[in-house]
Amino acid sequence: MSVARFWRKQQNRYNLIGNQCTVCGKYFYPPRGFCPVCRRDGKIVEHQFKGTGKVVTFSIIRSSSGNFKLLTPYVLAIIELDEGSRLTTHLVCDIDKVYIGMPVKRVFRKLGEEGSSGAIFYGTKFVPA
Amino acid sequence: MREVAVIGVGCTKFGEKWESSFRNLFVEAGALALEDANLSGEKIDEIFVGNMSAGRFVEQEHIGALIADYAGLATDNIPATRVEAACASGGLSFRQAYTAVASGMSDIVVAAGVEKMTDVGTEVTTDVLAAAADREWEGIAGITFPGLYAMIATDYMHRYGLTREQLAQVAVKNHDNGAKNPNAQFRKAITLDTVINSTLVADPLRLFDCSPVTDGAAAVILAPLERAREFTDTPIKVLGSGQASSTIALHDRKDISTLDATVAAGNRAFKMAGIERKDIGFVEVHDCFTIAEICAIEDLGFCKKGEAGRLTEEGQTAIGGKIPVNPSGGLKACGHPVGATGIKQVYETVKQLRGDAKGRQVDTDIGMTHNVGGTGATVVCHIFGRK
């Protein structure tokens, strides 16, 4: 893959920047350029998420591929941000400690690399708050 | 719209078929379907083929043309179209063929599905399947498909108190059925202990909660109902067809444990068929993981949310129960060649309704199929009747 694929998502992934539709007030992370509620009547603006939320559901991944293979076993979780939108993340914590409703906060982490000579890409992961 | 019937079906044995190539698999299933319909190739007007990822599994795209060619139909210039909706590619291929016949555009149409998954290693397979989810926002977070369904299971067990044993019973029941299906990858009964003591893949899901990696193909032939008796004494009528989409990412669902596209596609198929849930004699559901079967039974409306575990435990989803689920053995025991599964479900349903499902026969006139892409971003349902 080309570097542009990661570069164009940098602001979103590094700083947890998503969107809000100022018509319906709904927040979006991962970002959306088009409000699925208001559609063409919506007005999408950038929004900096606070970066705190709680665990909605999770799993311990015992078998994985690519960049995540060496991290097994790791916690995969769906997080609900305080603003209301949900995302999927690697939750960096002891696999025995995670529970539904656990408060979490964002951290900046390496997400992976494209082979030994390819681009290294970074972004947001979560840890217990 | 015209009424449509299935006039012929064919299916390869499912499994790790190292001796068969992608194109061999398709040709084998297609030939079986033609033979079953007592039909020669030049009568075919159009072909649809469901395939998720030949591009990454066997480095081959342009599947429609390839298949027409190796089926010996390229010189007749028959139109052939590949249909892709991840693991729902087969079901969607059937729906495309159904609309082609119902609309009057074509008369004799093949709906096929094929996947050759064992030409790459397990790690590549895991990554290819992960492409059915949102690559940019789920893939980058380290999801695997077992992991996504495991997050559904965690949510579901927390809210509805589903037990580990109830979940395991789905796999035990499907292996019981698969043991009686000559095309199944696993023809072996298992016990609750086998499931509960198997290796953890993504908590709470274990190896025996997961459908396997499989090679296989299936093909069925559709015709206008008014012409069906030219080819067969037992045409199986398509009573209802429903397709629905939902968010590509699991995290964007309102309810993690409800596949809202299953609810919508099921409702559409039932409305079109003009029948009720109690009229259905059996259902072939998309049990890519045990938890997926639990959700499917509920989301299709066969019981209330939270009750499918108890229903399964009581044996009500076994053959002879109130609503037999996956008499074929499902994805769990038959195997899951992703693009072929939706057509295999139709194959099984036709066999059942003709009374040809030896050893696993359900006595009924009406059956249903339910095929899911990803974690439920695409769902395709069909209802079939003998009369």
| Same domain membership, residue B198 and residue B281 | yes
Catalytic residues of B: 87, 336
A58 touches chain B (CB under 8 A): yes
The residue of chain B nearest to residue A99, with distances taken between CA atoms, is B154
Last-in-domain residue among B236, B271, B286: B236
Nearest neighbour of B251 by CB, restricted to A61, A86, A112: A86
For chain A, the residue count is 129
Instruction: Quote the strand ranges of B180-225, DSSP E.
Output: 200-202, 205-206, 216-224
Q: Single out the residue of B35, B91, B41, B96 nearest to residue B68, CA to CA.
A: B41
Q: Tell me whether residues B251 and A64 touch, CB distance under 8 A.
A: no
pLDDT at B387: 75
Give yes or no for a contact between B25 and B216, defined as CB atoms under 8 angstroms apart: yes
Domain boundary among B236, B271, B293: B236
Residues from chain B that touch A68, judged by Cβ atoms under 8 A, are 142
Mean pLDDT of A38-43: 96
Tokens encoding B65: 């043309």
Mean pLDDT by 10 residues, chain B (387 residues): 98 97 97 96 96 98 97 94 98 98 98 98 93 96 97 98 98 98 98 98 98 98 97 97 98 98 98 98 98 98 98 98 98 98 98 98 98 98 95
CB-based contact A76 B141, cutoff 8 Å: yes
| Portion 86-115 of A in contact with B at CB < 8 A | 86-90, 100, 111-112
If asked whether residues B245 and B351 sit together in one domain, one would say yes
Indicate the number of domains in chain B.
2
A-B interface: how many C-beta pairs under 8 angstroms?
96
Same domain, B195 and B220: no
Token pair of B239 as six digits: 């009573």
Tell me what pLDDT residue A115 has: 83
Residue B136 domain flag:
no
Assigned domain for B133 exists: no
Are B189 and B291 contained in the same domain? yes
Dig out the tokens for B58 from the structure.
């066997």
In a domain, B128, yes or no: no
Residue of B nearest to A80 (CA): B251
Q: Which residue has the higher pLDDT, B176 or A7?
A: B176
The partner residue sitting opposite A63, judged by closest CB among B144, B249, B256, is B144
Is residue B90 in some structural domain? yes
Cβ contact, residue pair B143, A100, below 8 Å = no
Residues B147, B112, single domain; the answer is no
Query: Which residue intervals of chain A bear CATH 2.40.50.840?
Result: 51-110+123-129
**B177, B202, B236: which is the final residue of a domain?**
B236
Report the phi/psi class of residue A31: left, alpha or beta, with left for phi > 0 and alpha for psi in -120 to 50.
Answer: beta
Residue B45 located in a structural domain: yes
Q: Which of A87, A90, A121 sits opposite B142 (nearest CB)?
A: A90
Q: Decide the pairing of beta strands B109-115 and B366-373.
A: unpaired
B260 shares its domain with B309: yes
The reply to whether B369 and B273 lie within a common domain is: yes
Domain extent, residue B246, equals 142-211+239-385
User: Is A37 an interface residue toward B (CB < 8 Å)?
Assistant: no
Between chains, do B251 and A66 touch, taking CB under 8 Å as contact?
no
Look at residue B126 and tell me if it is in a domain: no
Whole-angstrom distance, CA of residue B74 vs CA of residue B89:
23
In a domain, B127, yes or no: no
pLDDT of amino acid A1: 66
pLDDT score at B73: 93
Q: Are residue B188 and residue B58 in the same domain, yes or no?
A: no
Residues B92, B196, single domain; the answer is no
Q: What is the pLDDT of residue B27?
A: 97
In the structure, what pLDDT confidence band is assigned to residue A3 with cuts at 50, 70 and 90? confident
pLDDT value at residue B357? 98
Share of chain A above pLDDT 90, in %: 85
Residue, of B139 and A5, whose pLDDT is higher:
B139
The answer as to whether B129 is a domain residue is no
Helix (H, G, I), strand (E, B) or coil at B359: coil
Q: Model confidence at A5, in pLDDT bands (50, 70, 90)?
A: confident
Instruction: Provide the CATH number for the domain around residue B84.
Output: 3.40.47.10
B116 and B202 assigned to the same domain: no
**Under an 8 A CB cutoff, do B144 and A78 touch?**
no
Contact B134 A30 (CB under 8 A): yes
A71-122 pLDDT, tens digit per residue, is 999 999 999 999 999 999 999 999 999 999 999 999 999 999 988 888 899 9
CB-nearest to A58 from B126, B137, B154 is B154
Residues B150 and B39 reside in one and the same domain: no
Residue of A nearest to B149 (CA): A59
What is the topology classification, in CATH, of domain A51-110+123-129? OB fold (Dihydrolipoamide Acetyltransferase, E2P) (2.40.50)
Residues B232, B246, single domain; the answer is no
pTM beyond 0.80: yes
List CB contacts of B297: < 8 A, sequence separation 6 or more.
Answer: B283, B285, B303, B308, B311, B312, B317, B323, B325
